[in-house]
Amino acid sequence: MAILPIRLFGDPVLREKGRPVTKFDARLQKIADDMIETMEAAHGAGLAAPQVGLQMRMFVYDIGEGPGVVVNPELSDFSGTYIYEEGCLSLPGIYVEIERPMTVRCCYRDLDGTPHEIVADELLGRVFQHETDHCDGLFFTLRAEKEKRKEAMRAMRETLMPGEKEYIPNREARTGAARREGARVL
């Protein structure tokens, strides 16, 4: 397994919609394994393929119950509301309060191509929505209220180095300061 570079806000690959996965093979398994290792090294709760430069509809996640892989996610049946402060591995150090649906149904395939369906709520539902947004070329900041989005953009300009397009997570260096108490980096 390998830790992959994570693309940062501003990289054009993050604005492109991922392509559906059609080949379920050993290569896809290797990509998923590398993405899980990368997510763990960055202390994230989720990581989408576009965040590591791959234009495919796939993400990995772990909210403390072990890692999972979602291929070709399709979300529906949104209900309730849930306000939570989100962070993003492609926007290190930026946290924004976002209102999203509390519950979502996700239809997807596993690494063998077998179809599955799950109704996810609270944090897991939020992770599925956040990572599916990445697969659709969207950033979580677009879901924020106008003033909070402006604050986030200001913070991004102050935080990100001009021209910086990626970073390689380091298990030791990305603890504490990069995380905010009560927020999850998705």
**Rg (Cα) of the chain, in Å, rounded?**
15
Residues annotated as part of the active site: 131
Q: What is the DSSP string of 63-91?
A: SSS--EEEEEEEEEEEES-EEEEEEETTE
Note the helical H segments in the chain.
Answer: 26-41, 122-135, 146-159
Cα 46 → chain centroid: 5
**What CA–CA distance (Å, rounded) separates 7 from 63?**
22
State the number of CA atoms in the 13 A half-sphere of 145 facing the CB. Answer: 7
DSSP β-bridge partners for residue 76: 105
